């Protein structure tokens, strides 16, 4: 009986002790908002277009406390292979999906109309800029303003989610 009482007291102290400690002050508190980047197999390697997009995402994350992640498409860089990676971002309920790379942009543009509550940012050069796109797709041009365009698209998404 004494052993049972001692065990229950120890368990109570262990469980109760968890509630007395404040959260780690170094831990970053994020909003419930996710921005996800779909890239080619090089991911966000320095010198790639995706690295510039990632910089813009990180800038927006610091300002808005948005969670940012990226998913590199492994294997063949084809529409058929990209589609499951894209679908995984939709299943993860990403609020903003960004795409870099020809097949990544093609898949994103084709599927964006089916997901009106998600914002999409595609990094595309001028050759594809004339294509018809749903209203939830922003086209970001490679170049000097890319990081700011990406950060602003995420900021707009956060503001819209708070309204």
Which residue has better confidence, 63 or 163?
63
Q: What's the Cα-to-Cα distance from 7 to each of 16, 66, 96, 128, 132, rounded to whole Å?
A: 14, 43, 49, 68, 68
- How far is 94 from 154, CA to CA, in rounded Å? 11
In percent, how much of the chain has pLDDT > 70? 77
Q: Which pLDDT score is estimated for 62?
A: 95
Confidence (pTM): 0.80
Q: What's the Cα-to-Cα distance from 141 to each of 6, 52, 76, 124, 126, rounded to whole Å?
A: 67, 11, 25, 6, 7
Measured in Å, how far apart are the chain's first and last C-alpha atoms?
A: 58
Mean pLDDT score, 18-30: 62
Lowest-confidence region among 3-17, 65-79, 129-143: 3-17
Q: Which residues contact 101 (CB under 8 A, 6 or more apart)?
A: 38, 39, 40, 50, 73, 77, 82
Q: Which pLDDT score is estimated for 131?
A: 62
Q: How many CA atoms lie within 13 A of 140 on its CB side?
A: 30
- How far is 90 from 18, CA to CA, in rounded Å? 35
**pLDDT confidence band for 147 (50 / 70 / 90):** very high
Top CATH class of 34-162 equals alpha beta
Mean pLDDT score, 71-94: 97
């Amino acid at each position: 009986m004494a052993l049972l009482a001692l065990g229950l007291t120890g368990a109570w102290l262990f469980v109760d002790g968890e509630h007395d400690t404040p959260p780690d002050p170094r831990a970053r508190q994020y909003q419930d908002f996710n921005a996800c980047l779909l890239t080619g197999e090089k991911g966000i390697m320095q010198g790639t277009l995706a690295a510039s997009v990632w910089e813009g995402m990180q800038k927006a994350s610091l300002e808005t406390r948005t969670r940012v992640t990226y998913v590199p498409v492994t294997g063949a860089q084809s529409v058929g292979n990209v589609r499951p990676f894209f679908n995984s971002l939709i299943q993860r309920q990403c609020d903003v999906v960004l795409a870099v790379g020809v097949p990544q942009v093609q898949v994103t543009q084709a599927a964006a109309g089916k997901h009106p509550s998600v914002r999409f940012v595609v990094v595309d050069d001028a050759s594809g800029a004339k294509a018809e796109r749903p209203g939830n797709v922003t086209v970001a041009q490679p170049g000097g303003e890319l990081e700011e365009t990406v950060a602003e698209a995420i900021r707009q998404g956060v503001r819209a989610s708070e309204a």
